[in-house]
């Protein structure tokens, strides 16, 4: 089915707000996010959401709304037109008075996913240098010492300590230029931490990120407010030591629950626009099912990919688009460590069942393998499960009843998780099995076969018979 050129293009992989608007991409309006930020007045706001749920685009949107943006010579750039016709423009003067009024620092730590600590720091310092270069118009307002330090950081010649305090220093310079405190936006703050754990330099990266955050977010008199995003809430003791002004908004929080992911009405409108009303139920069965706070939401990445594939005639069938959008390394390691009980629970989930587990919102990567409860919590907060209900026991421990949210995630479990177990079996030394077979030792043969069966998940006969397409 080819829609031709009479429809707006779908923004696959477009996470820059200005580009999305000026090039006429289809846009689902989340601009009241700014209204809620101003109403709730959080000093440091940490939003944890699964990957590909719109975090980076929202951060770009915040920048273009709040920033008093300047060109290389300090000339003002008016971004008001980007928001024409959007919800925030109807919110009233109390909110619009903040539009284009603040210096803004916007950077991502995604670049810190490198094989060594040194190369990770090099990439992060490059990101910092790029943000310094974007604001280089402030140089004329700085003292000689300030200017020398600024140019060292911008030229990637600064000391390690300078980089640790670089966001604090930049916000100080911006406040000196504008006469107003700075908004700091940090995207994917936990990306270098996950990578560092997998690569073997976790503590070094923790020490750097902690110093980086303390200077920028704790002891910074030039800070108006900050927004930080990531997939997991890393424990306060690990990263956010002494940061008493931190507001954490996870997928369990009712605040801001509709701003990450698509709501049902938004998806229905999207399908109608692209004349795909007949595919709406397929989209719902495959990509809906997440519960953020009190809002049922769809996976936005998968919805957009599917609608684009169908509307352009590329493919009429749903796929698991989300499966390969990020590293599965930690999930794989956790699953491979599963005991028989956990394997049975995985089978139960694939068959449509539910499990109940205690909630641990604070997670550190160096403790993630300590208990299997950590596996369930890691997978819940990274988007593999939906909350069914929640309770607190007599010992004040919170418990979540969880299930797989939709057919896409069930497909991931069936295909990815099962294949991991199969690979593990293929790597197993089968010498004893062959010996038992050659010697016709039925007892030993039975024991070896039972062990193999215990190390993999059994067949899902019912699911295998089920059609994959709604």
**Per-residue pLDDT tens over the stretch 80-128:** 999 999 999 999 999 999 999 999 999 999 999 999 999 999 999 999 9
Q: Give the pLDDT score at 426.
A: 67
Q: Give the pLDDT score at 372.
A: 82
Mean pLDDT, range 309-336, rounded to an integer? 80
The span from the CA of 63 to the CA of 57, in Å, is 10
The span from the CA of 197 to the CA of 120, in Å, is 12
The span from the CA of 426 to the CA of 200, in Å, is 27
pLDDT band of 326, cuts 50, 70, 90? low
Question: What would the pLDDT profile of 24-62 be if each residue is shown by its tens digit?
Answer: 999 999 999 999 999 999 999 999 999 999 999 999 999
The span from the CA of 298 to the CA of 286, in Å, is 9
pTM: 0.88
The span from the CA of 335 to the CA of 374, in Å, is 11
Kindly tell me if the per-residue pLDDT of 467 is higher than 50. no
Residues in the chain: 470
Which range (39-53, 175-189, 452-466) has the least confidence?
Answer: 452-466
Higher-pLDDT residue of 338 and 20 is 20
Q: Is 398 helix (H, G, I), strand (E, B) or coil?
A: strand
Rounded to an integer, what is the distance from CA 440 to the centroid of its chain?
54
Kindly tell me if the per-residue pLDDT of 234 is higher than 60. yes
Q: Mean pLDDT across the chain, nearest whole number?
A: 88
Q: Give the pLDDT score at 459.
A: 43
pLDDT > 90 fraction of the chain, expressed in percent and rounded: 70
The span from the CA of 456 to the CA of 452, in Å, is 7
Sheet holding 182-187, edge to edge: 104-108, 182-187, 223-230, 44-48, 246-249
Q: Is 242 helix (H, G, I), strand (E, B) or coil?
A: coil
Q: Any residues with CB less than 8 A from the CB of 458 and at least 6 apart, and which? A: 347
pLDDT > 70 fraction of the chain, expressed in percent and rounded: 90
Higher-pLDDT residue of 306 and 371 is 306
**Tokens standing for residue 236:** 């306060």
Q: Is 43 helix (H, G, I), strand (E, B) or coil?
A: coil
Rounded to an integer, what is the distance from CA 197 to the centroid of its chain?
17
CATH number of 31-249: 3.40.50
- What angle is formed at CA 160 by the lines to CA 155 and CA 161, rounded to 5 degrees? 110
Q: So where are the chain's domains? A: 31-249, 264-324, 329-407
Mean pLDDT, range 459-468, rounded to an integer? 43
Q: In this structure, is the dihedral angle defined by the CA atoms of residues 407, 412, 418 and 419, taken in order, positive or negative?
A: positive
Q: Give the pLDDT score at 428.
A: 62
Q: In this structure, is the dihedral angle defined by the CA atoms of residues 255, 260, 263 and 269, taken in order, positive or negative?
A: positive
Question: What would the pLDDT profile of 432-455 be if each residue is shown by its tens digit?
Answer: 766 767 777 787 777 766 766 665
pLDDT band of 364, cuts 50, 70, 90? confident
Neighbours of 426 (CB within 10 A): 8
Residue 256 phi/psi, 5-degree rounding, is: 60, 25
Higher-pLDDT residue of 240 and 43 is 43
Q: Is 456 exposed, middle or buried (0-12, 13-18, 19+ CB in 10 A)?
A: middle
The residues with which 358 forms a beta bridge, in sequence order, are 399
The span from the CA of 364 to the CA of 193, in Å, is 9
The span from the CA of 27 to the CA of 21, in Å, is 8
The span from the CA of 63 to the CA of 48, in Å, is 19
pLDDT band of 424, cuts 50, 70, 90? low
């Amino acid at each position: 089915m080819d829609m031709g050129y009479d429809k707006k293009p779908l923004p696959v992989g477009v996470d820059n707000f200005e580009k999305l608007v000026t090039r006429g991409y289809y846009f689902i309006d989340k601009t009241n996010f700014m209204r809620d930020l101003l109403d709730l007045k959080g000093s440091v706001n940490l939003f944890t959401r699964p990957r590909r749920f719109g975090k980076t685009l929202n951060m770009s949107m915040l920048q273009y709304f709040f920033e008093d943006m300047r060109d290389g010579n300090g000339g003002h750039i008016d971004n008001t037109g980007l928001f024409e016709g959007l919800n925030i423009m109807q919110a009233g003067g109390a909110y619009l008075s903040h539009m284009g009024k603040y210096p803004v620092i916007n950077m991502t730590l995604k670049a810190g996913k490198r094989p060594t600590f040194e190369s990770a720091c090099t990439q992060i310092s490059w990101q910092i240098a790029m943000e310094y270069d974007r604001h280089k118009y402030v140089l004329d307002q700085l003292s000689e010492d300030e200017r020398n330090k600024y140019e060292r950081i911008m030229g990637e010649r600064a000391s390690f300590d300078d980089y640790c305090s670089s966001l604090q220093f930049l916000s100080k310079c911006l406040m000196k230029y504008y006469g107003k405190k700075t908004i700091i936006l940090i995207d994917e703050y936990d990306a270098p931490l996950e990578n560092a754990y997998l690569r073997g330099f976790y503590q070094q990266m923790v020490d750097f990120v902690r110093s980086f955050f303390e200077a920028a977010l704790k002891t910074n008199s030039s800070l108006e407010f900050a927004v930080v995003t990531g997939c997991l809430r890393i424990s306060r003791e690990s990263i956010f030591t002494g940061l008493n002004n931190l507001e954490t908004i996870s997928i369990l929080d009712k605040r801001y629950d509709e701003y990450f992911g698509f709501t049902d009405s938004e998806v229905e409108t999207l399908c109608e626009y692209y004349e795909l009303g007949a595919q709406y139920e397929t989209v719902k069965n495959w990509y809906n099912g997440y519960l953020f706070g009190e809002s049922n939401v769809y996976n936005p990445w998968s919805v957009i990919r599917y609608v684009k594939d169908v509307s352009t005639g590329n493919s009429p069938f749903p796929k698991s688009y989300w499966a390969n959008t990020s590293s599965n390394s930690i999930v794989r390691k956790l699953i491979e460590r599963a005991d028989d009980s956990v394997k049975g629970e995985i089978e139960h989930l694939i068959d449509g069942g539910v499990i109940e587990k205690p909630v641990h919102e604070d997670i550190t990567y160096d403790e993630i393998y300590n208990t299997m409860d950590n596996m369930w919590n890691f997978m819940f907060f990274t988007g593999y499960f939906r909350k069914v209900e929640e309770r607190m026991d007599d010992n004040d421990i919170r418990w979540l009843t969880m299930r797989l949210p939709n057919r896409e995630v069930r497909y991931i479990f069936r295909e990815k998780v099962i294949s991991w177990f199969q690979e593990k079996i293929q790597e197993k030394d089968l010498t004893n099995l062959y010996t038992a077979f050659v010697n016709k030792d039925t007892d030993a043969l039975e024991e070896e076969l039972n062990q193999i069966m215990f190390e993999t998940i059994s067949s899902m006969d019912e699911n295998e018979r089920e059609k994959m397409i709604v």
